[in-house]
Structures are given as C-alpha cells and as structure tokens.
C-alpha cells in the first residue's frame, strides 16, 4: 500500500478530522495511549511515508510499513494498532508502526526532503547524493533522508525514465544525468499520485513488473540490486550503467 503518494491520499481522506478532540485512543502497541486521549487533533500531515497526527507538543507518527491498512468510520475484524475515537467517528490503523514523538512536526522533520512536499528541494537532494559517491543509485533513491516518500515502484520507474541503470554508482553518473534522475523521481511520484487517484497506477508502469522494454522491445530484467537487495526492473539496453 504505502509509497509517499498513498500517504498523501490517506492524509486527504482524514484531514477533516483536524480540529476534533480525541475521546479515546487505544491499540495493540506498547505506547502511552493515554497521552493522546483528551487532546485535540490540530493537524494531519505527511512526511514521505510517515502519517503525522499533530497535537500540541507532540506528534503521533503512523507508519504503514509493508502491510499497513486503515479504515475510516469502519472496523476490520482484527484489532488495530491505533484507534482514535472522536464524537460520532473514528480512525483505525492496522498493522502499523506507531510512535509518539516529542515536539511539533516542524521541529522534527525536514520538509524539503519530502518528494511529495511543496518544499521539495532538488538541489538539496543533489548535494546529499554528492556526499555518497560510492553508493549504488538504487539504494540512494530509497534513502528516506534524501528522497522521502520514494519506494520500490517509484525507484524502478524513475531510473527507467531517466535511463540510468539501478546499479550505477552515484559518483559516476554525469551531473546532468543525475539532475535528470532527481527530476524524474519527483515527476513520477506526482504522476503516481494522479494515476492512483484515477485507478490507473499499474497501467502506466513502464518498467515495474514489466517483461518487455517499450522502447527497444528487449526483455526487462528483474534483479535484486544494491545493499538493500530490493527488486529492480530495468532495461540493460536503454539504461546506462555508470561505474
């Protein structure tokens, strides 16, 4: 379920809960739910794949990890990791990592690292990449401190669109090509959001899960790349390997 755009969709669905007071907080995790109970939800934000429920002086971070799900004014059969009960409404988060962070979200998060955020700063991303020349670019794209919100689908799509092989070393990629990749990461992430809303996400994949390269008709390679050994889909003919 969760790459950055999916979290934006979640945020948009529950934004209307901002301003309401939590009558009761409960769930399966080992956190202090009582700290939330009785407080007014001030804002709903996201930072990459993090959903941030903002209260005065603290922030509840919800991370859906790989299998997380949620229900709004509905319940699944299983117990939630977090349930927030409001007057006549409730939010349920299942199989999520839940953490209460001290302080306001603005003091914790660097919004310019979030590919989904208006404050996204491509130059800052490039500067961070320059600091890790020996890293494989497939790993760098999944680094949430650089490309917060980018996940494994966006990784393969951005690399394919920028014509860069996933196992390329960051420091060996020509600077113009690196800028192109950063731009594609941002642009495809925004397309992901539009496509998902329209229900055409998978239809517009050009590399992820594909078998044949639409550009050259040669096979798309599926391999587990980088330190993370995460699956990558790429065309060795169209995507240049910089080493």
Partner DNA sequence: AGTCATGTTGACGA
Partner DNA sequence: CTCGTCAACATGAC
Binding mask 58-77 for DNA (x = CB under 7 A): -----x-xxx-x------x-
How many angstroms separate the CA atoms of 219 and 216, rounded? 9
CB of 21 to DNA, least distance (A): 28
CB 114 within 8 A of CB 47: yes
Residue 205 tokens, joined: 């994949």
Residue identified by tokens 């390679």 is 221
Rounded CA separation 148/158 (Å) = 14
Report the residue number, 17 or 94, with the smaller CB distance to DNA.
Answer: 94
- If one asks whether residue 95 binds DNA (CB under 7 A), the answer comes out as yes
Q: Convert residues 17-36 into a mask of x (bound to DNA by CB under 7 A) and - (unbound).
A: -----------x--------
Q: Which helix (H) or strand (E) holds 208?
A: none
With CA atoms as reference, report the closest residue to 157 among 122, 186, 200, 196: 186
Binding-residue pattern over the window 191 to 230 for DNA, x denoting contact by CB under 7 A: ------------------------------------xx-x
Name the residues that contact DNA, by CB under 7 A: 1-3, 6, 28, 48-49, 63, 65-67, 69, 76, 78, 94-95, 142, 144, 151-153, 227-228, 230-231
């Amino acid at each position: 379920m969760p790459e950055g755009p999916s979290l934006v969709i979640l945020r948009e669905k529950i934004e209307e809960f901002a301003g309401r007071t939590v009558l009761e907080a409960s769930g399966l995790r080992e956190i202090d739910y009582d700290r939330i109970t009785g407080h007014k939800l001030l804002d709903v934000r996201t930072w990459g794949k993090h959903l941030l429920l903002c209260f005065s002086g603290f922030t509840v971070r919800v991370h859906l990890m790989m299998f997380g799900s949620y229900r709004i004014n509905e319940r699944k059969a299983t117990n939630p990791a977090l349930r927030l009960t409001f007057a006549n409404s409730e939010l349920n988060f299942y199989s999520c990592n839940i953490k209460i962070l001290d302080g306001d979200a603005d003091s914790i998060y660097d919004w310019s690292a979030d590919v989904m955020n208006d404050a996204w700063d491509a130059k800052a991303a490039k500067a961070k990449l320059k600091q890790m020349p020996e890293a494989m670019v497939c790993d760098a794209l999944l680094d949430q401190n650089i490309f917060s919100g980018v996940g494994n689908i966006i990784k393969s799509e951005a690399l394919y669109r920028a014509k860069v092989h996933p196992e390329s070393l960051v420091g060996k990629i020509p600077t113009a090509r690196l800028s192109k990749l950063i731009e594609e990461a941002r642009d495809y992430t925004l397309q992901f959001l539009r496509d998902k809303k329209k229900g055409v996400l998978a239809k517009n994949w050009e590399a992820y899960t594909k078998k044949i390269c639409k550009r050259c008709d040669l096979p798309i390679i599926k391999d587990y790349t980088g330190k993370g050994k995460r699956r990558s889909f790429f065309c060795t003919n169209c995507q240049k390997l910089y080493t």
